[in-house]
Amino acid sequence: MRINYQFLASALKQQGSWQGKDINIDLDWCLIELEKIITSLDWKATAQDVRRFVRVTEQPSLDFWSKDLFITQLKKLK
């Protein structure tokens, strides 16, 4: 699946941290911003936050959520 950068830029510029900013959104920008978020999250707390939305049979997979797991997945997007 490809990222629609024009749509993403339009949405980000409407509200939030990038509202009204002139940003050039491309794959490199996305990778940098996603890495910032991935490294800043408390993954145990994040897994707990989403646990109630995940089927009971699939909840054990949340125990594997970590910065390293998501950074590894992020690198696959390059």
Burial of 33: CB neighbours in 10 Å, binned 0-12, 13-18, 19+ = middle
Do 25 and 9 contact (CB within 8 A), yes or no?
yes
pLDDT of residue 4: 94
Q: Structure pTM?
A: 0.82
Q: Look up residue 75 and give its two tokens.
A: 């690198």
Interval 17-74: pLDDT, tens = 889 888 899 999 999 999 999 999 999 999 999 999 999 999 999 999 999 999 999 9
pLDDT of residue 78: 82
CA distance 23 to 34: 15
